[in-house]
Structure 1
Amino acid sequence: MISKLLFSILLLESASSSVIPNGSDGSVVIEEAYLNWLKQVGSFKHSLFQKAKNKFKPCLTIRVDKNPRLGNFVMVQKAIDSLPAVNLCRVVISIGTGIYREKVEIPATMAYVSVEGAGADKTIIEWNDTADRMGQNGQALGTYGSATFAVNSPYFIAKNITFKNEAPSPPSGALGKQAVALRISGDTAAFIGCNFIGAQDTLYDHVGRHYFKDCYIQGSVDFIFGNGLSLYQGCDLHAITNSYGALTAQKRDSLLDETGFSFVNCKVTGSGALYLGRAWGTFSRVVFAYTYMDKIITPPGWTVFYGQYKCYGPGADFGGRVTWSRELTQQEAEPFTSLGFIDGYEWLMNL
């Protein structure tokens, strides 16, 4: 956890400002530096990302079904393995009703893959790996390798499907129990009407630009984490902890990293006491806008800088927030609340 004083020092490194003492603990709030920083990170053109050119018209449709007479394959990974190692056209893998107990991975060269379920409550892909479980090489899988479903390729699309890690929720302080339901490590990925079910570290929003719309995400500790540049619209974020948990852990390590999570028109509910976010990276960046927050949100809300804009509900009261977080103005919030945040006008408009 980064302290208020350390965060103020980091801001001093990025922008000049007068220092205004605030409180008996010797910490400081650097208002001008903060505003300059916010203006800078909100105006990035994402120069580190290539211009996105998506493909939506399918060249091939593959059917996966538990009944071999109704599909081309009975397992999702078998359908993926049937594709060319270097895939250059949109392939739709239609997955029928059922629970598919398997671990799935899409390699980095296999672009333009879509998986479409019969409904998030009907089509479920599940496994139960944890970070401390031994892999085939005799070493622990780690958080990265614990994912039930892992995507390494660009232009991935998922619709109406559940990704689940059914490992039980670990006791407080347990080590090696991270259990990822889905890891997205490819650029320009979209998830529409999907469920992500797990406990600790449910959704590994690893790297790349990502879009989540009308999704349900369930977990206990850090259940949305990583260093992606991602927009969550209309999503239901549900905590299942009986003690303390954290919704997000965003790993932005540099002021120049063009990453962050933005939650717009979402809903935060569940049990226990929940921090909206904790800092995994030194310059962790998360914004909530127009979001309902239930009473489970702890009054401080954040463990480092984060922002919120026009959120509501019993957990949204900004009066008790830590002093180094901020209620954003309309101008400050605007860069984070549209598809432009993830360059979505380039690669999402025909989805």
Structure 2
Amino acid sequence: MSKFQPFFYITILLLLLNAGQTLCHTKGIRLRSSTGKQSKINMTRTQVSEQQFMQWVKFVGSLKHSVFRTAKNKLFPSYTLTVNKNPAAGDFTKIQDAIDSLPFINLVRVVIKVHAGVYTEKVNIPPLKSFITIEGAGADKTIVQWGDTAQTPGPRGQPLGTFGSATFAVNSPYFIAKNITFKNTTPVPPPGAVGKQAVAFRISADTATFLGCRFLGAQDTLYDHLGRHYYKDCYIEGSVDFIFGNALSLFEGCHVHAIATLTGALTAQGRGSILEDTGFSFVNCKVTGSGALYLGRAWGPFSRVVFAYTSMDNIIIPKGWYNWGDPNREMTVFYGQYKCTGPGSNFAGRVSWSRELTDEEAKPFISLGFIDGSEWIKL
């Protein structure tokens, strides 16, 4: 079973339960048997209700997908909400308040325009609020920030963990973010520090698009957790494992900047099985920054990362990749480069278990087809 299918079945179950309650309480429809004219009227109403409900179920069923299903998106917004720090100039002063105002199950495209300003708040989009667009006034003008780490105490006193540390967390499909900055304000931790993972953004759902966004943090900046994702012209900054997770994601035209004080790592891709269709691909990107940087660490035993047509500064450690202290992973990971440039791209010093890809080997990784993008990406 795909990792996205349980979410789909839970959604349908909730809808079935809600619809069952609605049908049972609809005026004029009786659950006990009757005879004569009233029975015919009730049967007609029941049939109409059932037909309408089945149309609804079929529609909702078409919206939840895995990496093995066809995805569809909504091109035009149904309505727009505004967030402004000035109460007189917008619908809301906080992003979370705008999200909370949406229906428990949201099935129409809603654009939330966030005006310029620094919004110091922790934001969470729950699983059933799909089709949300967050649009800033410019990545340098609209900033959402918070400062939790993995060791920050949660509501019950227990540490939040890496998953819960995110400044902005998305758990629903068909999310879009444009021209906005997501920031975790935690400073760069010293080498070997424990519990300092500090996520700026976590995406834990299928079919998400990020256009002209900035992700600022240190350790574990961008938690690219689950689903198919497209990052276009984004800026991503961090120190250790600052793009990590087990998603299937394409980074196109992005600027990746390291702020490591000593040694850092750009990616930690978590593919755990040869059967998982996940991995990161960086196309026409550039890698800059400070410190000595691994292109990736094998967080998952079948970790998969490709860099193509990417410019790399001389901060890249010649070996390029680290096996996470487990030599067995060297036989199962897939790490590749294709026509990269810059002093850090020299393949001569790379570990023997990485690859310099041929045209044929690189082809699946360098287009939107890598993430089935033509099905769901609407720019």
Tell whether the structures are fold-level matches, with TM greater than 0.5.
yes
Q: Distance in 1 between matches of 2:194 and 2:373?
A: 37
Q: Distance in 2 between matches of 1:108 and 1:249?
A: 25
Q: Residue 189 of structure 1 aligns with which residue?
A: 208
CA deviations 1:86-144 (Å, max 9, x no partner) are 00000000000000000000000000000000000000000000000100021100000
Q: Distance in 1 between matches of 2:81 and 2:353?
A: 51
Q: Distance in 2 between matches of 1:101 and 1:257?
A: 37
Residue 150 of structure 2 contacts residue 159 of structure 2 at CA under 8 Å; is this kept in 1? yes
Residue 226 of structure 2: SS of its match in structure 1? coil
Residue 67 of structure 2 contacts residue 228 of structure 2 at CA under 8 Å; is this kept in 1? no
Q: Residue 111 of structure 2 aligns with which residue?
A: 92
Residue 180 of structure 2 contacts residue 213 of structure 2 at CA under 8 Å; is this kept in 1? yes
Are 1:341 and 2:360 matched, yes or no? Answer: no
CA deviations 1:295-324 (Å, max 9, x no partner) are 000000012441000000000000000111
Residue type of the partner of 2:361?
E
Please give the residue correspondences for 1:151-190 in structure 2 after superposition, counting only pairs within 5 Å: 151-190=170-209
Residue type of the partner of 1:297?
I
Q: Distance in 2 between matches of 1:189 and 1:137?
A: 31
Which of 301, 311, 315 pairs up with 2:344? Answer: 315
Residue type of the partner of 1:337?
I
Which of 332, 355, 358 pairs up with 1:329? Answer: 358
Residue type of the partner of 2:355?
R
Q: Residue 251 of structure 1 aligns with which residue?
A: 270
Larger radius of gyration: 2
Residue type of the partner of 1:127?
W
Structure 1, unmatched stretches of 5+, are 1-45
- Give 1:47 deviation, angstroms: 7.4
- Give 1:51 deviation, angstroms: 1.3
- Give 1:48 deviation, angstroms: 4.6
Residue 294 of structure 2 contacts residue 317 of structure 2 at CA under 8 Å; is this kept in 1? yes
Q: Distance in 1 between matches of 2:256 and 2:70?
A: 31
Q: Distance in 1 between matches of 2:347 and 2:84?
A: 49
CA deviations 1:2-61 (Å, max 9, x no partner) are xxxxxxxxxxxxxxxxxxxxxxxxxxxxxxxxxxxxxxxxxxxx9753211101211110
Q: Distance in 2 between matches of 1:163 and 1:56?
A: 24
Residue 297 of structure 1: SS of its match in structure 2? coil
Q: Residue 138 of structure 1 aligns with which residue?
A: 157
Q: Distance in 1 between matches of 2:312 and 2:67?
A: 33
Residue 315 of structure 1: SS of its match in structure 2? helix
Please give the residue correspondences for 1:68-107 in structure 2 after superposition, counting only pairs within 5 Å: 68-107=87-126
Q: Residue 18 of structure 1 aligns with which residue?
A: none
Which of 202, 210, 219 pairs up with 2:229? Answer: 210
The number of residue pairs the alignment matches comes to 305
Which of 86, 100, 111 pairs up with 2:130? Answer: 111
Residue type of the partner of 2:353?
W
Which of 261, 267, 271 pairs up with 1:242? Answer: 261
Q: Residue 279 of structure 1 aligns with which residue?
A: 298
Root-mean-square deviation (Å): 1.0
Which of 198, 220, 229 pairs up with 2:217? Answer: 198
RCO (CA 8 Å, sep 6+): is it higher in 1 or 2?
1
Q: Distance in 1 between matches of 2:192 and 2:117?
A: 35
Residue 306 of structure 1: SS of its match in structure 2? strand
Structure 2, unmatched stretches of 5+, are 1-64, 324-333
Moved more, 303-312 or 201-210: 303-312
Q: Distance in 2 between matches of 1:251 and 1:242?
A: 24
Please give the residue correspondences for 1:30-45 in structure 2 after superposition, counting only pairs within 5 Å: none
Residue 205 of structure 1: SS of its match in structure 2? strand
Residue type of the partner of 2:318?
P
TM-score (structure 1 length as normaliser)? 0.86
Residue 150 of structure 1: SS of its match in structure 2? strand
Residue 166 of structure 2: SS of its match in structure 1? coil
TM-score (structure 2 length as normaliser)? 0.80
Residue 144 of structure 1: SS of its match in structure 2? helix
Q: Distance in 1 between matches of 2:192 and 2:261?
A: 13
Q: Residue 129 of structure 1 aligns with which residue?
A: 148
